[in-house]
Each structure stands twice: as structure tokens, then as C-alpha cells.
A and B are shown apart, each in its own frame.
Chain A
Amino acid sequence: MALNPQASGMDDVVEAMNLTEVQGRSLWADARARFVRNKAAMFASILLLALLAFSVLGGFLTEYDKETVDFTLMGANAYKGVPSMETGHFFGTDASGRDLYARVVQGTRISIMVGIVGAIVAVVVGTLYGATAGYFGGRLDGIMMRTVDVLMSIPFMFVLIIMLVVFGRSIFMLFLGIGLISWLDMARIARGQTLSIKNKEFVEVAHAIGVHPLRIILRHIVPNLAGIVIVYATLLVPQLIIFESFISFLGLGVQEPNTSLGALISEGAANMSNGTPWQLTYPLIFFVLTIFAFFFVGDGLRDALDPKDR
């Protein structure tokens, strides 16, 4: 240090500065303040956290697990398998005599996972793909976006069903299939936003400074896409949950003994005439709550991140 007086001088400057520097209020901080003021969104966030906690920790509250069949209930499901605190079957049992509470916990977990994994794939792949196409423009943009158009024009529900039938039903195949679809819309949205951001002066400055194009995309374009991407992702999650439920409702999707909310609703609906309404009611309540929570959080984020507000 002593050999390099200039360097130690710089250290002094930095240290002197740290004492007094003022913390800035970023756009994120502003958005957070707006989000916290939004009561519906805050309530939905709390509900969502509760649902997450339920799906992860709910299993510890019951003595039953999701796959053990209670043989004492054989043939007497309609009057012995009713929801009751005494028997420990809080939500009753399903048609095979398995504890519905444990199955709802597991089903909620799968459904939320499907939604979140799909949204993450959409955010990562879709944003980078769209930002790259939008930033470079020209022929590359043409090729990349026409590819997206072609993929979008394929009826994906059909392809997914064939995939599940041919390669067998597994959670991995389900995630793969949903991941394949979910990023397409995001890529289009990200590209459109990039086109307007790349003409902003700060991008031109970065170009004039000599910043590498990939760094321009990652440092200057993607952070400015983040607002719209996050909003779209939170709105995408419930769509994917509904999508997965539909697949499971058809009997594809998650494989026994695992289950998802869609599969439970399907079973419950099939057994409605057997006098076991709880088999439909409880999965449906959790399904609706999850979807509602995600939609309200998404709406709140959109209001909070909307740049028109400033």
C-alpha cells in the first residue's frame, strides 16, 4: 500500500464516501411501495404464501399419507369416509379409501410446481430469445420469430397428448411439454418491448461506448424488460395450472399414486353421483384459491410496475 500512494488515496476516498452516501430509491423500490399499498394484491400474496406453506408443510398435520388405502372403509366410503376431525380424514377419503387431505396437499404442490416451472422456463428462454431477436433485428430476427410462429401454429395440446402416450406418463414429460409451449408468447412480448427499448438513447450510448452486444442485451435491455416479463409470468402461472389440470382431467398427466388438483377434480366429478361431494369440493376450493391468488398478485404487479404511473 505504502508503495502506491495513489491507490491508498483512492481507498480513503471510498471509505470517506461510504460514511455519507445516500441510498437511492430505485424503480423497484417505487414499485414495491405501490404494490404494498394495493390491498387486494397484498391479501392475495398472503393467501399465496399460505397455499405454498400448505402444499409443503401440510403433510405433517395428518397421520395418513397419500397412497395408503384405508381398508376399513371398503365399500362404505359414502358414510364412513366423510370429512371428520375424529377419524383424522380432515377432507374425507377418495373412492379408493385414501386420505383426501394428504392427496390435496400433494396435488396443490404439483399444480403450483407445474405453473412455476413453466413460468421460469418462459421467463428465461422466452426473454433471452425475444431480446436477442429484437436487438439484432434484420434477418436473424426474421428467422427466429418465424420459428416461433411455426411452433405456435402446431396444436400443442395434441402434441403433448401424443408425447405422454408415446413416451409414457411422467412428471418430467409433463414439465418438458409445458416448458416447450410456455416460452413462445413470452418471446413475442419480449421482442416487441426490445424493439422500443433498443431505440432509446441509453442503448445508443452503450453502443457508442463500445459495450459488447451481449452485454447490452443483458445489462441494458433485459432489466428494462423485467417489469412486463414479471407481470406476464405471474399471469402465465394460473394458465399453466389450468392447462395441467385439463391434461390430468383427461387422465394423462401426473401418474398414480401421485396426483394433481386437476386429477382430483376429475375423480371427484366422476364420483359425484355416489354421494361423496367432498371429493369434488375440497380440490376445487384449493384450485380456485390458487388461481385467484396468482391472478390478483399478477394484477397488483402490473399496476405497480406500470411505467405510465410516473
Chain B
Amino acid sequence: MALLDVRNLSVAFETGDGRVDAVKDITLSIETGQCMGIVGESGSGKSQTFMALMGLLARNGTASGSAKFNGQEMLNVPAVEANKVRGADVAMIFQDPLTALTPHLTVGQQMSEVLEVHKNMKGAAAKRLCLDWLDRVRIPEGAARFDQYPHQLSGGMRQRVMIAMAMLCKPKLLIADEPTTALDVTVQADVLDLMKNLQEEEQTAIALITHDMGVVARMCDTVAVMRHGQYVEEGAVETLFHAPQHDYTRMLLDAMPRIDAPTEAATEVDAERILDVQDVEVNFDIRVNKGLFGKTIPLRAVDGVSFDLARKETLGIVGESGCGKSTLARAVLQLIPPSAGKVLWMGQNLTGLGRPQMAAHRKNLQIVFQDPLASLNPRMTIAASIAEPLLTFQPALSAKERTAKVAEMMERVGLDQRMINRYPHELSGGQNQRVGIARAMINRPELVVCDEAVSALDVSIQAQIIRLLKDLQADMGLSMMFISHDLSVVRDISHRIMVLYLGRVVEMADRDEIYQNPVHPYTQSLISAVPIPDPRVEKTRQRIKLPGELPSPLDPGAGLRFLPSKRRVDPGYRPALMEVSPGHWVAEHESFEAIVQAEERRLAG
């Protein structure tokens, strides 16, 4: 008998605009010790299916059908009955580990609470079990972490605490709702490894809800693809990936950029260098509470970065959160004044220019942001937003000419002209991002910075937007700086790639060179952490793992993690960039073994 047996589950919501059927007639079953992936794009009902099982539907939602866990009905039963199963036999972890943990309780208090409620276990015995689990989810210094508050832990650490909490009662089923979506790629790999191990050791079944085909390929035994609240296709992971039956599954797999796949040939790049960034630094003053009044210490968000950019070229900038990639982009556009260094645009230094002088250059320097909805003024129609740069730089245009230009641009970015009077909240994320792109492109700029421009979008939309950006680049001959944490996406679009680590460049090379022949251990670990949407490849791939957590940028000497011998003698040393082959620059580092040894020595104290 299956561990979880769901029959004809439907979920509907009563909203102001009428009834919405979120889940329609789903039947699924999970066996003991099995990992099942539920894949779908946003709005496909994949989360609501499991929210209904856990009795966590919003108040306007109703569920019908049946869901038996170990033969016991879970759906629409009184809370008292359901609570016996929830938390003890079925546990759930969520996407954002910060909001899922109560901020004013320590890790230990929250973990002990679970034991007290479900096992009536208190005091020293409870603490022992908690510490044991903190250790098993590989949290270093578990005893110290036990008394810390959630905000004192990093994102990956918090997600591990969530997993430890979920595992305390040895649940038979763990529901993981996008457990790694908010995490950096190396942290994601660690958390996935951990879940895989738990599944094997404890024979816990896992229901993994995700939009990432790569994660599915790494983790799951069976997969169900959902769309519009219905199953599109389900089956063993191998068959689904290698012989997908449904068009939608095939489309999802094709849309997912692969880090190992051959990419289409890069477009031609002009020889003319239009942007030259020299030793740019951005320091923020951070207040620390030391002494009576506290003091400020500089945080080097960008610490001496140099690069140049040719016309028609796309430079990909990758790195984990906090590495300074967005700050660097803003410093180049002078949205944040750099603390030191020069930004030469067409040979002219932009740093220190006043607002009026800078305004003249802004026509050619545009930016597209991550969150499409937040980057549009909610009170303005999308046409008014797109027309904004025209008003600034071509004020002589008549209203009619402006409308015509906007309509033309909308058509160009694939928006229906009839939507000209629409407001951002009426559009989907992908459409809003097209509006953002249209606004950036309408004055035919020379340089467009895309700051995580596709990160918030569904995979299929992501592929369309990248296609659009490439087309526009070919049409208009513009240069791009493409910032992303997603290495597969960056590979798809860039000519050259720059890897940042704590505000410094660790490696910079042509796209194919850097992915096929990464030299720096950090680049190697990043690339090997990216999941590949192919179960056969995933099962044989070896990960290059750096020990320890991503250090805090405030930690002096953190930048010398890859140069441990210097770290001891000269914490202020900056690793120099060396050209290992033409156009391939790598920061000074020591051998992988030396770094691992030094890191382990440090962790041991």
C-alpha cells in the first residue's frame, strides 16, 4: 500500500472575481522511501495540492476528494485528528526559511516545541535529540547555534534548521515546497545532498515541489508535471526526461538552459571598446555596536574591479548573493557613486559628473531590474512607463509620434498594442518584464544592464525573454552587462563571463573557455553545483565541494579564502589577476587541497 494515496483531489478558491479552480481532480501516490517531484510553473497548483493535504489552505479555499496517509484520511477531518498526523508523520519545509521560523524564539526553543507537542519530550532529553539532529544536518557548532535566533544564521543554515526541525519526529513523509529556490547554487547543492542522504538513511518519502528540472533530475525517482491545476504527465524520472510524451513537458525541458549543452555560436563582437572600468571600489559604512557609541567600519562591496566591454558584446557577471554584482552594475551606471576608480564611457570618465552632465549619458545607459512589477509605477499605464525615456530625451516629439513609437516598441518586444492602456497589475510577470525591456530600449541605448532580469520568471518565459534580448542586441547593436546568479542562463546569453567573489574578480574568460576549463576553485565549485536537467548525467556527476559556509564580507581576510597561506601573514593582501591563456584571467589561488586543508583547520579551531 502506498504511504500517501491521494484520490480525485480538487481545490477551489472563492475570490472577489469568482471561483478559481486551483487544483482539478489530482490522483497521486507516494511509496515509502521514495522521492517524488512535482514540477510546474507558477500558478500550476503544485503548492496548493500539498497545502490542502496539510490543512493549510487559505480561508476562502475548499478541498474535495480523498487523501489517505497510511490508510488514514487527512482531508477535511477535524483539526484534532489532523494534528496527530501533521508534524509527526508528515512534515513540511518551505521556500523561505526566514519567514518560516519565528523570529523571536531561539532555534532551540522552536525545535524543543516540536518535541514537546508531538512526543511530550522535555528538558535535557529533548535538547540532546535536537543537538543530535543539528549535527546530522551538518550544522557546525550546533551547541552554539541552539541558542541563536534565526536572523543570526545564514540562509542555508536556516533551511538546515528547518529540515532538522521537520526530521525531529522522524516523519514518514517530508513535503518540501521549493526548498532551495531562495538559496545560492552551492548552498542549494548542499541542502539537496542532505535531503538525499536523509531519504536514504531514514527511508523518508519526499514530495519535492519545484520549478527546476535540474533539481528534479538530481533528486527524484518519479515526477509529475502539473499545469493549470492538472496533471500533464507523470512517470519515472528516466522515462520522463528522455522520452517525454506531452508537448508541455518537452517544452519545459527544452526551455531549461543547460550548463553542459552546446550553445549556439556567439554573435560577432566589434573591436571598439565602449566601456572601460578601472579599479572601481564601492564602500558602504556599516555601523557595528562596539563600545558606547558604536563605530562604523567600511564594507567593501566592490573591491577593485576592472573590466572592459566591446560594442555588441554581452558580459555575464555571476556570483553568489552578497558578492557585489548588483552594486558593481549600479556603480557603473553611477546610481551609486563609486568610492574609488574610474568608469570610462566612450573614453570619458563618468565618475564625479554632476546630475546634468550625467543626464546626457543616461540616454545610452539603461537598466532592467529583477522584479518586473516593482520596477513599474503602479499608477501609470504601461504605455506611459515606456514613453518616460522619450519624454526625457526627445521632448520635442508630439503626443501622437510618441504613441506611435511606443506602439512600435511594444510590437517589437512582443506585446499586443491593444494593451497600451493597461496597468502593470493587470499583466503577467513575463509581460511586465517585456514592458521593462521596451522602456530600456526605446531610445536605442548603447549599453543595457540586466540585473537578474529573468530570475523572477518561469522557465518558459525566461527562455522567451532571453531570446528577445538576443534579438534586440542583434538589431540594435547594443552591449549588455547580464547579471545573474544562474550560471546556465548566463552561459546562454554571454560572450564573456566574469565571476565575482566578495567584491573581487576571481576569474574572467570567454564563455566556452570558462565553462569547459574553469581554473579557479571557486568557479569550479559553482559550475559543479549547478544541477543539470538530465538524470543520467546527474547520477554520475562528481561535485567539487568547498568546505564551510560563504564567509561574511565583514570578516577581514574572508577574501583570502583561496589563498590561505597569505591569510595568516597578510590579511589585507589582494590576490592579483593573472592571464593563464589569452583572455583568460584568474585570481591568485592555491591548490584545491591546500584550501580544503586550511578551511578544515580553521573550522576545527
Contact = CB atoms under 8 A, between A and B. Distances in A.
Interface of A: 7, 10-11, 13-14, 17, 20-27, 200-202, 204-213, 219-220, 223-224, 226, 310
Contacts of A204: 335, 367, 369, 375
A20 to B, nearest CB: 5
A195 to B, nearest CB: 16
Interface in B314-367: 333, 335, 355, 358-359, 362-363, 365-367
B407 interface: yes
Contacts, number: 104
B404 A24 contact: no
B420 A17 contact: yes
Contacts of B601: none
B65 interface: no
Given A14-B404, A210-B363, A219-B380, 15 more contacts: A7-B401, A13-B407, A14-B400, A17-B403, A22-B419, A25-B423, A26-B379, A27-B423, A201-B370, A201-B374, A204-B367, A205-B367, A208-B362, A219-B377, A224-B379
A10 B400 contact: yes
Contacts of B405: 10
B29 interface: no
Nearest to B334: A208
B359 to A, nearest CB: 4
A21 B418 contact: yes
7 tightest CB-CB pairs across the interface, nearest first?
A210-B362, A10-B404, A201-B375, A24-B422, A223-B379, A24-B421, A210-B359
B423 A205 contact: no
Nearest to A200: B374
Interface string B377-411: 11111000100110011000000110111011000
B31 interface: no
A206 B436 CA distance: 11
Nearest to A204: B335
Contacts of B392: 209-212
A207 B363 CA distance: 11
A27 B379 contact: yes
A21 B417 contact: yes
Contacts of B359: 210, 212
Nearest to A201: B375
Given A209-B388, A224-B378, A24 B426 contact: yes
Contacts of B407: 13-14, 17
Contact of B378 (A17, A27, A207, A211): A27
A202 B380 CA distance: 11
Nearest to A37: B16
B413 to A, nearest CB: 16
A249 B225 CA distance: 74
A13 to B, nearest CB: 5
A226 B407 CA distance: 29
Interface in B90-111: none
Nearest to B377: A202
B421 A201 contact: no
A254 to B, nearest CB: 39
A205 B370 CA distance: 12
A208 B408 contact: no
Contacts of A10: 400-401, 404-405
B439 interface: yes
Interface in B428-449: 436, 439
B191 interface: no
A254 B54 CA distance: 66
Nearest to A208: B367
16 contacts: A7-B401, A14-B403, A17-B407, A17-B418, A20-B417, A22-B419, A25-B423, A202-B377, A202-B378, A205-B369, A206-B388, A210-B363, A211-B392, A219-B377, A223-B380, A224-B379
Contacts of A17: 403, 407, 417-418, 420
Contacts of A21: 417-418, 420-421
A224 B420 CA distance: 21
Nearest to B365: A208
Contacts of A213: 355
A310 B425 contact: yes
Nearest to B393: A210
A206 B426 CA distance: 21
B362 A11 contact: no
A24 B425 CA distance: 10
A7 B408 CA distance: 13
A22 B423 CA distance: 11
Contacts of B400: 10-11, 14
B282 interface: no
B513 interface: no
A263 to B, nearest CB: 42
A223 B376 CA distance: 13
B279 interface: no
A209 B335 contact: no
B512 interface: no
A202 B388 CA distance: 11
A135 to B, nearest CB: 14
Nearest to A11: B400
A13 B418 CA distance: 12
Contacts of A25: 423, 426
Interface string B171-206: 000000000000000000000000000000000000
